[in-house]
Amino acid sequence: MGWPFIGETLQLYSQDPNILFATKQKRYGDIFKTHILGCRCIMLASPEASRFVLVTHPHLFKPTYPKSKEKLIGPSALFFHQGVYHSQLRKLVRNSLSPNTLQKRVADIEAIAISALESWARGDQVINTFHEMKKISFDVGILSIFGELNDNYREQLKENYCIVNKGYNSLPTSIPGTAYQKALLARERLNEVLSEKIYEREEKKTVEKDLLGHLLNFKDEKGETLSKDQISDNIIGVLFAAQDTTASVLTWILKYLHDDQKLLEAVKAEQKAIFEANDGGRKPLTWAQTRNMPLTYRVILESLRMASIISFTFREAVTDVEYNGYLIPKGWKVMPLFRNIHHNPEFFSDPQKFDPSRFEGHPKANTFMPFGNGVHSCPGNELAKQEMLILIHHLVNRFRWKVMGSNSGIQYGPFPVPQNGLPARFWKDPAI
C-alpha cells in the first residue's frame, strides 16, 4: 500500500503508470491492492475478475469520478450513473449511433477526412498530428450529435469546449483565472449555446435521427421528458468521450504504419483496390466497402491493443464484495487493468510486437477490451472504427507522410500519445 497518507502516488507519477502496475502484478499476481491519489484501490489484471466487476455484477460497483471533473462535464452525463437513468440514456446514445445511422454518415465523415488531409498537405508545414486528429474527431462528434450545424454554432462550441477540455486535465482550484476556473466559466457558456440550439430544434418540431433528436424526443413511462441540463450534460459527455480517445488512437495508427513500411504497403494495396473500383476516388466510399477492409481493420484492432489508450477504468464497491476468496471492502476503488490484460503474453504472444495478424483469429473472451466491457462499454465504438477506416482509406491512397524529429517516447495527456503529438509533414501523392 506504500507510504502512510500518500500511498504509492509518487511512484505513479514518477514513472510510466503502467510500469508501477506491471511491477506489482509480477510480484503479487493478477489481483492486488494499492493506495493512490488518496484512494484505496483493488487492481484487477485478470479477465475473469474484470468481467465479474463490469459484466456480471455491475450493480455492486458504481462508476466513480472526482466531483471536480463531474462538474465540468455535467453531473447528468450517463457515465456517472447506474440503474434506470443510465440504461435509458444509454439506449438513446446507442440508437443515435446505430448501424442504420452510421451508414448515412459515411459521405459526411469522408468529407471531413478529405478536407483535413488536404489542409495538412498545404504548404511546407509540420503539423501536430494529435491536435489535427482532435479537430477531425470533434467534427465527427458534432455530426453525430447535431447532424448539420452552422459554422457560427460550431465555432462557439469549439472555442468553449477547448477551454473545458484544458481545464479537465488541470488542477481543480477555486482561484480565479486558473485553467480549472476558466473551464467552469466556459462550461456555463456552453449551456447557453446549447440552450439556444435546443430551443431552435423544439421550434422546428422535426424528428431528427442525431443524438440531440433522440434526447429531445425521449419520454419515460410516466411521460416525463429530459430537462435542458440533462440534455446538455449528455451532449458534452458524448463529445468528451468521443474526441481525445479517437484522436489518440488515430495518431498511434499513423505512427505504427509509418514505422512498418511493409505493412503500410500491404494496407495501401488493400485500399488501392477499393479506390480504383471507385473510379480513382471519384465515386464516394460506400458503407459496404468500409465493412470489407480486413487488413486495415486488423491494423486498427492491433493499434487499439498496443496503445491501450484507456489503460484502466474505475469503479467503487457499494458494499463489501467477496470475489474468489478476496474481500473487496465497501468504498474501495476497483480498477480493471485493460492494458495489463492486453499486454499479457498468456493472451497475446510477444505482446510488445505490433502484429495485426494476431487478429486473424478471435482473442480469448474478455481479454480484448479497448472499448470496455459490460453495461458501460463504449456505445461509440463502431463510429470510432468507421472514422478510422475512412481516414486511412484517403490517407494512404492520396497522401504520403513523414514523422519529424524523434520518433519514440510517449506523452500522457491523460491518454498516451506519441511524444509531442507526433509532428509530421504530409504531401499529396504526385501520382494521384
Which positions make up the binding site? 378
Q: Which of 167, 172, 370, 418 binds ligand HEM (CB under 6 A)?
A: 370
Does position 376 bind ligand HEM by CB under 6 A? yes
Q: Which residue is nearest to ligand HEM (CB)?
A: 380
Phi–psi pair at 220, nearest 5 degrees: -80, -175
Determine the interface stretch with ligand HEM among 8-16, 121-129, 244-252, 389-397 (rule: CB under 6 A).
244-252
d(CA 232, CA 209): 17
Binding site per annotation, positions for heme: 378
Q: Which residue has the cell 463504449?
A: 378
**Cβ at position 89, least distance to ligand HEM in Å:** 8
Does position 7 bind ligand HEM by CB under 6 A? no
CB closer to ligand HEM, 112 vs 242: 242
Does position 17 bind ligand HEM by CB under 6 A? no
Residues 377-416 contacting ligand HEM, CB under 6 A: 377-380, 383-384
Burial class (CB in 10 A: 0-12, 13-18, 19+), 122: exposed
Which of these, 256, 257, 296, lies nearest to 274 by C-alpha position? 296
Residues 85-114 contacting ligand HEM, CB under 6 A: 90, 93
Determine the interface stretch with ligand HEM among 191-199, 241-249, 255-263, 360-368 (rule: CB under 6 A).
241-249
Alpha helices, H only, 260-373: 261-277, 287-290, 294-307, 338-342
d(CA 74, CA 71): 5
Within 13 Å, how many C-alpha atoms sit on residue 307's CB side?
A: 30
Q: Which of 163, 238, 267, 334 binds ligand HEM (CB under 6 A)?
A: 238
* Grid coordinates of 360: 486473424
CB atoms within 10 A of CB 423: 19
Which of these, 234, 216, 239, 229, lies nearest to 160 by C-alpha position? 239
**Cβ at position 363, least distance to ligand HEM in Å:** 16
d(CA 145, CA 141): 6
Sign of the alpha-carbon torsion through 220, 73, 102, 142? positive
Q: Which of 21, 61, 79, 256 binds ligand HEM (CB under 6 A)?
A: 79
CB closer to ligand HEM, 121 vs 210: 210
CB closer to ligand HEM, 90 vs 166: 90
**Cβ at position 405, least distance to ligand HEM in Å:** 25
Does position 371 bind ligand HEM by CB under 6 A? yes
Does position 313 bind ligand HEM by CB under 6 A? yes
User: Do the Cβ atoms of 316 and 333 come closer than 8 Å?
Assistant: yes
- Residues contributing to the site for ligand HEM (CB under 6 A): 78-79, 90, 93, 141, 144, 238, 241-242, 245-246, 249, 309-310, 313, 370-372, 376-380, 383-384
